[in-house]
């Protein structure tokens, strides 16, 4: 026992000493001289123990290992929430999820009253840009504010064939886009955020990582992301920007990989999903030395650290509590995590956690306490025999949740009683509506640990639905529905699957059932409207879309669906709806195309051109859209562009008679009679109705 005790005292001494050194450096604040470039890198779903610089033996991560040698490695960084979108909201605002209102993916976008570091850097004259790799960080959620450039464009095919939550792109493409921006950025300080999504399930790394990590593909995804990130680091060094740049790398959350019965993340708050890697490479001149920090730190400390090391003062500072570099007294003696996912999606109890140097406490109907120093895998729950320690943690947690909690601006629309709302606040849930009834709230919520089999069954059913096996999914979900008949998420996933298979009656039935259980779910309203429209119930569909856009004005897919329904008899209203969708998400390719077609049909050819061009740039470059764009250029006397687009249409579809006809007309206007005649004859051979345009011999 004596050597262990000595080691712990030595470890504490080193931790305090290193923190004091960092405090001295931070006291002198920012880098002296020119403002540093600031680069924030988040790689999704990375456990700390899966990087070489954190001790992993079966994976190669040379890029991050090199960054670790040049920076400060935080050995016990803790994510505030193990879900991608709310975790990034906490990182970029410096606010806990219960303070900024972003607690999971079922709520509203980040409200404009909360400032992000991008807005602060932009106001200080920085060029600001972001490249994100998954739809879950789409700009409609509010994180694009403050960025001059926010690349969240994904291929149209993904939106057609995958659930929105699965729309993403590989690191290689995102890094290429990142480098393109960095290379064309004017020579002034920049704040750049690069997000890579590859380690998120399903684990399918490209070669050679697929073969090299065949038995552990999750690690292969991390190795691949590290490899691609190396291109960014190489460019920074070649451009002589690396040394003077502040570079912060972290993950948003980890991955359970089967620990505690959880396969992925979001459901529990054990260290498998909240313990993340965090490396800070300070800019030259900051006086912060490379090293390692062993005490727990929070991701909400990232935002104040970026501002402090860049030497920037901004009103956003009122949102902050503490940064990463300060005295031990400045930092909180416990770090916080939460997950509202079990509650908001399934109606089970939320989970909250506090972690110190020694313990992790998880507040649940059956509370848990782990000595993470002696039991790092959190297998031995000490709560039943450490009642006094549990009581202290409960009091600390209650106090933490009362620290400037989020107050919804639309609380007046709540249909819950004051007692029910107070119960929600006590649970740490800050929305103005509840996914469960007031009666269920009053009677107590199930512990997620007791519902793990149901949760895993739902995930298995969703996998079956992704491959179109609806029968298998329904078999899996049947016992879950019997156990929890009021769980809205089951009819929702069945309804979404029916939409994809174009079973409109089934979709309408399931989505209506979902809304009976959760009347405020705007995504279900949007899906139901689409199904009803296909069934000919257009006015009812419009009513649901009005409710969806009222519930969430940032739901651009609802505005788009509204435009589709209005286009037939009210083109002016349709144009307004499409424009609202595009204003929210300019990279929504199908809305750009439909607005272009509406303007085309209204003979507003000049206005249609940029919409068609944008749709093509986003990947909707089929023969039809090139043909229509060619006509627009023809009508606006831009003949060479008209020819190029009609030729592009024919390259994609050589048998497109209309494109041959239009290309012939282009040549006729330019006086190129032989070429015009050839195209007219080709159009005639493909469709007889066009033969009348062939000039006589």
pLDDT digits (tens, 9 = 90+) for 518-528: 898 899 999 99
In degrees, rounded to 5, the angle at the alpha carbon of residue 445 between the alpha carbons of residues 439 and 447 is 170
> Which residues are bridge partners to 275 per DSSP?
78
Q: Enumerate residues 6+ apart whose C-beta is below 8 A from 357.
A: 12, 295, 296, 373
Q: What is the model's pLDDT at position 332?
A: 60
pLDDT at 196 over 60: yes
Q: In the numeric block, which tokens belong to residue 529?
A: 């409207």
> Model's pTM, two decimal places?
0.84
CB–CB of 146/120 below 8 Å?
Answer: yes
Q: What's the pLDDT tens digit per position in 644-655?
A: 999 999 999 999
pLDDT at 533 over 80: yes
**Lowest-confidence segment of 242-246, 343-347, 373-377 by average pLDDT:** 343-347
- Residue boundaries of the structural domains of the chain: 2-315, 407-446, 447-554
Q: What is the mean pLDDT of residues 71-99?
A: 97
Q: What is the mean pLDDT of residues 206-214?
A: 97
Q: What's the pLDDT tens digit per position in 171-193?
A: 999 999 999 999 998 678 999 99
pLDDT at 164 over 80: no
Q: What is the mean pLDDT of residues 559-587?
A: 95
Locus of tokens 């788009």: 560
pLDDT-derived band at 438, boundaries 50, 70, 90: low
pLDDT-derived band at 159, boundaries 50, 70, 90: low
Name which of 333, 253, 315, 324 is nearest 288 in CA terms. Answer: 324
- The 10 Å Cβ neighbour count of residue 651 is 11
Q: What is the dihedral of CA 675, 677, 682, 685, to 10 degrees?
A: -170
Radius of gyration of the chain measured on its C-alpha atoms: 28
Fold classification of 447-554 is 1.25.40
Between 533 and 412, the more confident residue is: 533
DSSP letters spanning 506-534: HHHHHHHHHHHH-TT-HHHHHHHHHHHHH
Q: What's the pLDDT tens digit per position in 24-81?
A: 344 444 556 689 999 999 999 999 999 999 999 999 999 999 999 999 999 999 999 9
Q: What's the pLDDT tens digit per position in 292-322?
A: 999 999 999 999 999 999 999 999 999 998 8
Name which of 398, 410, 323, 314 is nearest 361 in CA terms. Answer: 398
Question: What percentage of residues in the chain have a pLDDT greater than 70?
Answer: 87
Name which of 81, 138, 425 is nearest 253 in CA terms. Answer: 81
Q: What is the model's pLDDT at position 23?
A: 40
DSSP letters spanning 278-309: EEEEPPTTS-PPPEEE-S-EEGGGHHHHHHHH
pLDDT-derived band at 692, boundaries 50, 70, 90: confident
Using CA atoms, how far apart are residues 168 and 682, in angstroms rounded to an integer? 42
- The 10 Å Cβ neighbour count of residue 311 is 17
Q: What is the model's pLDDT at position 28?
A: 41
Fold classification of 2-315 is Alkaline Phosphatase, subunit A (3.40.720)
Name which of 252, 227, 134, 250 is nearest 172 in CA terms. Answer: 227
H/E/C letters for each residue in 68-100? HHHCEEEEEEECCCCCHHHHHHHHHHCCCHHHH
pLDDT at 345 over 70: yes
CB–CB of 97/89 below 8 Å?
Answer: yes
In degrees, rounded to 5, the angle at the alpha carbon of residue 117 between the alpha carbons of residues 113 and 122 is 100
Q: What is the model's pLDDT at position 434?
A: 53
Q: What's the pLDDT tens digit per position in 574-596?
A: 999 999 999 999 989 999 999 99
Ramachandran sector of residue 134 (left: φ over 0; alpha: ψ -120 to 50; beta: rest): beta
pLDDT-derived band at 410, boundaries 50, 70, 90: low
SS3 assignment, position 244: coil
**Lowest-confidence segment of 156-165, 420-429, 614-623 by average pLDDT:** 420-429
Chain-wide mean pLDDT for the chain? 88
Q: In the numeric block, which tokens belong to residue 209?
A: 């990582």
Q: What is the model's pLDDT at position 408?
A: 75
Host H or E run for residue 276 = strand 275-281
CB–CB of 118/147 below 8 Å?
Answer: yes
Strand order in the sheet with 351-355: 335-339, 351-355, 359-363, 368-371
Q: What is the model's pLDDT at position 680?
A: 94
**Lowest-confidence segment of 418-427, 474-483, 612-621 by average pLDDT:** 418-427
Q: Enumerate residues 6+ apart whose C-beta is below 8 A from 396.
A: 334, 354
Q: What is the model's pLDDT at position 435?
A: 63
Q: What is the mean pLDDT of residues 608-620?
A: 94
């Amino acid at each position: 026992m004596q050597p262990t005790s000595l080691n712990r005292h030595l470890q504490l001494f080193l931790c305090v000493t290193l923190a004091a050194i960092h405090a001295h450096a931070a006291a002198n604040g920012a880098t002296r001289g020119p403002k540093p470039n600031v680069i924030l890198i988040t790689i999704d779903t990375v456990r700390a123990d899966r990087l070489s610089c954190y001790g992993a033996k079966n994976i190669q991560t040379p890029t991050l290992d090199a960054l670790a040698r040049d920076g400060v490695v935080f050995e016990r960084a803790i994510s505030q929430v193990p879900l991608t979108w709310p975790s990034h909201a906490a990182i970029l605002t410096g606010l806990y999820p219960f303070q900024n209102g972003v607690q999971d993916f079922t709520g509203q976008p980040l409200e404009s009253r909360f400032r992000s570091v991008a807005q602060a850097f932009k106001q200080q004259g920085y060029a600001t840009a972001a490249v994100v790799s998954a739809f879950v960080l789409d700009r409609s959620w509010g994180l694009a504010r403050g960025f001059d450039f926010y690349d969240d464009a994904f291929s149209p095919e993904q939106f057609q064939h995958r659930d929105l939550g699965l729309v993403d792109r590989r690191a290689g493409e995102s890094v290429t886009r990142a480098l393109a921006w960095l290379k064309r950025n004017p020579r002034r300080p920049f704040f750049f955020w690069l997000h890579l999504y590859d380690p998120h399930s399903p684990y399918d790394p490209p070669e050679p990582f697929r073969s090299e990590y065949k038995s552990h593909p999750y690690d292969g995804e991390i190795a691949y992301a590290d490899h691609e990130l190396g291109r960014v680091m190489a460019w920074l060094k070649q451009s002589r920007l690396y040394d003077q740049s502040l570079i912060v790398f972290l993950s948003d959350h980890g991955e359970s990989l089967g620990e505690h019965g959880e396969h992925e993340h979001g459901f529990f708050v054990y260290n498998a999903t909240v313990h993340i890697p965090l490396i800070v490479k300070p800019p030259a001149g900051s006086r912060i030395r490379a090293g390692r920090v062993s005490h727990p730190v929070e991701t909400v400390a990232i935002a104040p650290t970026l501002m402090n090391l860049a030497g920037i003062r901004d009103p956003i500072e009122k949102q902050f509590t503490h940064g990463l570099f300060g005295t031990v007294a400045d930092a909180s003696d416990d770090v916080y995590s939460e997950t509202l996912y079990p509650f908001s999606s399934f109606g089970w109890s939320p989970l909250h956690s506090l972690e110190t140097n020694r313990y992790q406490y998880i507040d649940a109907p059956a509370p848990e306490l782990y000595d993470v120093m002696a039991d790092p895998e959190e297998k031995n729950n000490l709560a039943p025999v450490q009642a006094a320690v549990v009581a202290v943690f409960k009091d600390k947690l209650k106090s933490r949740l009362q620290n400037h909690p989020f107050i919804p601006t639309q609380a007046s629309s709540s249909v819950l009683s004051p007692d029910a709302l107070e119960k929600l606040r006590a649970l740490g849930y800050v929305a103005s509506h509840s996914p469960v009834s007031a009666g269920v709230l009053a009677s107590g919520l199930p512990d997620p640990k007791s519902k793990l089999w149901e949760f895993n069954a739902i995930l298995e059913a969703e996998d079956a639905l992704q491959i179109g096996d609806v029968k298998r999914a329904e078999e899996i979900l049947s016992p879950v529905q019997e156990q929890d008949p009021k769980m809205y998420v089951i009819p929702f996933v069945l309804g979404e699957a029916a939409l994809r298979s174009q079973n409109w009656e089934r979709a309408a039935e399931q989505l209506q059932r979902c809304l009976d259980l959760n009347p405020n779910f705007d995504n279900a309203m949007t899906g139901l409207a689409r199904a009803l429209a296909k069934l000919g119930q257009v006015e009812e569909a419009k009513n649901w879309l009005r409710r969806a856009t009222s519930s969430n004005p940032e739901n651009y897919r609802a505005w788009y669906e509204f435009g589709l329904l209005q286009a037939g008899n009210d083109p002016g209203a349709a144009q307004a709806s499409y424009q609202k969708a595009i204003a929210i998400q300019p990279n929504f390719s199908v809305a750009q195309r439909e607005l272009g077609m509406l303007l085309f049909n209204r003979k507003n050819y000049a206005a249609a051109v940029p919409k068609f061009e944008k749709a093509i740039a986003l990947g909707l470059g089929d023969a039809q859209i090139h043909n229509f764009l060619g006509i627009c250029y023809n009508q606006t006397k831009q003949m060479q562009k008209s020819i190029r687009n009609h030729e592009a249409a024919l390259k994609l579809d050589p048998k497109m008679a209309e494109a041959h006809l239009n290309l012939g007309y282009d040549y006729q206007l330019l006086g190129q009679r032989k070429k015009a005649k050839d195209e007219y004859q080709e159009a005639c051979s493909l469709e007889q109705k066009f033969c009348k345009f062939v000039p006589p011999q």
